[in-house]
Structure 1
Amino acid sequence: MNAPHPDSSTDEQRGSRVARGLGATARGAGRAGRATMRTAKRAADAQGAGESGLSRLIQMHFFNTAGDAAVAIALAGTLFFTVPSGEARGQVALFLGLTMLPFAIVAPLIGPFLDRFAHGRRWAVGATMAIRAFLCWVLAGAVVTESAWLFPAALGVLVASKAYGVTRAAAVPRLLPQDFTLVKANGRVSMSGIVGVAVSAPIAGLASLAGPEWVLRYAFLLFVAATIGAIRLPKRVDSSEGEGDLLLRGDADKARTGSVRIPPAVAYALRANCGPRWMSGFLIMFMAFQLRQNPIDGWSVELLTALVVGGAATGNFLGVVAASVLKKINPAITVSAVLVADIAVVVFGFLFYGVLALALLGLVAGLGQALAKFSLDATIQRDVPHRVQASAFARSDTTLQLAWVIGGFVGIAMPIDPPRLGLGVAIAVLAAWGVFVFTRHPKRSSRVVRTGN
């Protein structure tokens, strides 16, 4: 009989210790996860959001953005950085054109259709989730087999995502807690989206190591959870009580049977938002090619690009936080200030082109875009009757996306040399647009919207 190897018992002991260590780690992670969920739920329920039902919308939005992040990671490619610049420009231009397709469908078709769901908003929101869950399952098979259904299913996911944004924005005013306001509610919901992306992106990244189909199956589960969350929204989301009395000007009875004109405050906020959106599209596309072709001495292309994108993401996050904590905000003043700030930061970048200017460009662009969009949403929710808000949100989002795409097209069409030429063009465009916007400011100033208690 062979004697046991002297190291076998030692190996077994080591394996046992590793197993116990992994078990303890898993239990600790589970406890930390449950504690985090309890903390998140308390935060969502704070200040009356639990009683009004806004917390349920916040939780649903968490799963929605987590699913969208997983889909984006599953479909993301690195082709842009692996082909020559000339070919990449054509591919990016095609991408910009394709980004308008979901909005082209949502604005004229889905917006008015969703308006007819005034008594079934919960089911309309849930349908946008269920459709994406189904299409993610279809995509999981299509990416493996390279099926012809790949592009139609991906387009369907994008369209359903934009339709969700419209229905969710139209539902927020129905769940407003007492002494809570629209900008703050929108900021609270968007904050949950940021948390959803932060939690979901690493998980989706790990799943992508096994293949994009597993990321899409993970997204399927997230959208199923979001569908359940939509169905669990309070019944008041479906209520149409008082909707005929929400007009601030004009004859309400006549508006019920006729068309509703865009209020001047909404038109002004939308025009002012187009400036920051144009700048965002221009900045991303122009800097992507500019930094790739002419990187700043001593800095890698990847690091410079991360600096601009990271600055924009940080600015967007700060905008969400600011919308959630500011005591009061005037939407008209906010969108005007954002447009002026964008012009000023581009002038700074033109005069002092360098690493600091690039980081500041991204930061101000992200911050301004977030604050301006929150102000626009609050203005629509305040001044546009609920029965046509879905159409209003669809058309405003389409207009802003069009501004972003036009900015992107200008950015990829600009010559690379000299670097300041593109920023000079951006200054001219933003300044001209600013003059156009400010000369059409409503005569009556918009009311102040309180965002804190």
Structure 2
Amino acid sequence: MINIPFLRLVRVHALAAAGDAMITVALAGSLFFSIDPSAARLRVTLYLLLTMAPFAVVGPLIGPALDRFRGGRRPMVFAINGGRAFVAFLMISNMDSLLLFPLAFAMLVLQKSYGVAKASMVPLILSKEEQFVGGNARLALVGSVCGFIGAGPALLANLLGGSSWTVGLAMVVYILAALSSLSLPQGRIAPEPIGDEEAGQLSGVGIRKAASATGTLRGIVGFITFLAAFALRGGADDVNLSGVGKAFGAGVRHALQGDVASDASPAWKLGLVAAALVSGFLVGSLLAPKLRDRFREEVIIAAALVALFLVGLLAAWGGGFGSTLLLALGVGMTASAGKLSFDSIVQRDAEDANHGRAFAVFETRFQIFWVLGALIPVVIPMPARVGFILIAIAAAAATVFFWVRRTPIQEGRSGPATGPAHQPQRA
């Protein structure tokens, strides 16, 4: 049977994702690629620290606001998308002024707020726990695809009329998203502050370990993004990525000696790495629901960590540009599958919690993991192979912490919301 409310949420999310892609295209020239590679590290470090600020706002404010907003989730989603349209309108005439920076900051806050609001809608629309991963996966897939689709007209508008046209197009899309959100169900209201039962559910061992593993995967996403960016763009630490097929020992030796290239790699190579990462997110979004039909979410997260460990070792062994693409694809797949599984664990094991507040807290932590992971290759110049080895080590350590120290209760069941009827279908 078709779930009409969920299809309406998918429509809202598709429009919101397309608008986000258009804003990204409009702002692309003002961020990383406008910075001279030889003097980039300090300015990129400051930018990364700034990206944590929206989550500092989202964490303590947006979650409780979602739970206490009069009328439920629907008017909150409408208000967020309407706010994004208004900020985009203000950005049209300020793309070349200093006012662009606080406006871009406000857009970041609203984008992250929407992500929290969207995630909190899923358990209200999909009542069965086995639907959570599938629902989250469909939303992630739709968001990625519509991001690609939205980038097309955004690039055309940017070519014809500049960044102001692109932001104007995004404003129109956000207005459509706001109007579409009026068809969403209201959702429940939780005016009371967090109670002991909710706090106990969210601080359970299973959720805490899943959050740690998912945070590690999110940190690796940030790490490889900026490791590849500096390695391929050149500057003071141009890393030679040649040498596919070298023995692992030789690869480590050359990496530690700091092989450098004489010329920076072309920008399209970094574009391919970004495309591989996004493709990995898409594949992970498709695989997670199918894996969930056979395995518990905890097994999926552990398998993602082990797979990333193996891919990291393989990339360090090869050391070439092809290995970089392979690792980016693997990071995207495992991070996507892990995040979707974590969302399902929270929605399943903390079913009595206020999910708007819960997802705000966890998204805050995960973004901090992303920034910390990204800061490492920015602050500490390193050859690509060293970074690949660090990814493998991080994945291995996270696997040990998450899986080996599991309690007997966790081994016997996947969570308090999982009844006996579900056990025969899942490993």
| TM-score, reference length from structure 2 | 0.83
1:306 aligns with 2:260: no
Query: How many angstroms does 1:83 deviate by?
Result: 4.6
Distance 1:176 1:238 in 2: 12
**Whose Rg is larger?**
1
Distance 2:77 2:328 in 1: 33
The equivalent residue for 1:322 is: 287
1:444 maps to a residue whose letter is I
Identity fraction in percent:
31
The equivalent residue for 1:398 is: 364
2:197 maps to a residue whose letter is A
The 5 Å alignment of 1:321-360 reads 321-326=286-291, 327-360=293-326
Superposed CA deviations along residues 366-397 of structure 1, whole A, max 9, x for unmatched, are: 00010001001111111224552112101111
| Alpha-carbon distance change, 179 to 166 in structure 1, aligned in 2, over 3 angstroms | closer
Query: How many angstroms does 1:305 deviate by?
Result: 1.9
1:218 maps to a residue whose letter is L
Structure 2: which 5+ residue stretches go unaligned? 244-263
The equivalent residue for 1:255 is: 197
Distance 1:426 1:182 in 2: 29
Query: How many angstroms does 1:80 deviate by?
Result: 3.8
1:150 aligns with 2:100: yes
Query: How many angstroms does 1:296 deviate by?
Result: 3.7
Distance 1:333 1:152 in 2: 42
Check conservation: 2:140, 2:282, Cα contact below 8 A.
no
The 5 Å alignment of 1:15-164 reads 47-50=1-4, 53-77=5-29, 80-81=32-33, 83-117=35-69, 119-144=71-96, 146=97, 148-164=98-114
Query: How many angstroms does 1:413 deviate by?
Result: 2.5
The equivalent residue for 1:375 is: 341
Superposed CA deviations along residues 332-389 of structure 1, whole A, max 9, x for unmatched, are: 1111111122222111122221133212101110000100010011111112245521
Distance 1:62 1:182 in 2: 18
Distance 2:298 2:130 in 1: 20
| Alpha-carbon distance change, 102 to 253 in structure 1, aligned in 2, over 3 angstroms | closer
Distance 1:287 1:424 in 2: 14
1:421 aligns with 2:386: yes
Give the secondary structure class of the aligned counterpart of 2:51. helix
Equivalent of 1:275 in 206, 216, 219: 216
Check conservation: 2:72, 2:189, Cα contact below 8 A.
no
The equivalent residue for 1:208 is: 158
1:266 maps to a residue whose letter is I
Check conservation: 1:281, 1:411, Cα contact below 8 A.
no
The equivalent residue for 1:16 is: none
Distance 2:58 2:44 in 1: 23
Distance 1:348 1:337 in 2: 17
Superposed CA deviations along residues 1-37 of structure 1, whole A, max 9, x for unmatched, are: xxxxxxxxxxxxxxxxxxxxxxxxxxxxxxxxxxxxx
Bigger drift between 263-272 and 323-332 goes to 323-332
Give the secondary structure class of the aligned counterpart of 2:29. coil
Bigger drift between 281-290 and 70-79 goes to 70-79
| Alpha-carbon distance change, 433 to 187 in structure 1, aligned in 2, over 3 angstroms | closer
| Alpha-carbon distance change, 70 to 303 in structure 1, aligned in 2, over 3 angstroms | closer
The equivalent residue for 1:218 is: 169
Distance 2:281 2:27 in 1: 23
The equivalent residue for 1:388 is: 354
Query: How many angstroms does 1:193 deviate by?
Result: 1.4
Check conservation: 2:78, 2:181, Cα contact below 8 A.
yes
Distance 2:164 2:289 in 1: 37
Query: How many angstroms does 1:130 deviate by?
Result: 0.7
| Alpha-carbon distance change, 200 to 394 in structure 1, aligned in 2, over 3 angstroms | same
| Alpha-carbon distance change, 377 to 214 in structure 1, aligned in 2, over 3 angstroms | same
Give the secondary structure class of the aligned counterpart of 1:332. helix
Query: How many angstroms does 1:295 deviate by?
Result: 4.3
Structure 1: which 5+ residue stretches go unaligned? 1-46, 245-251
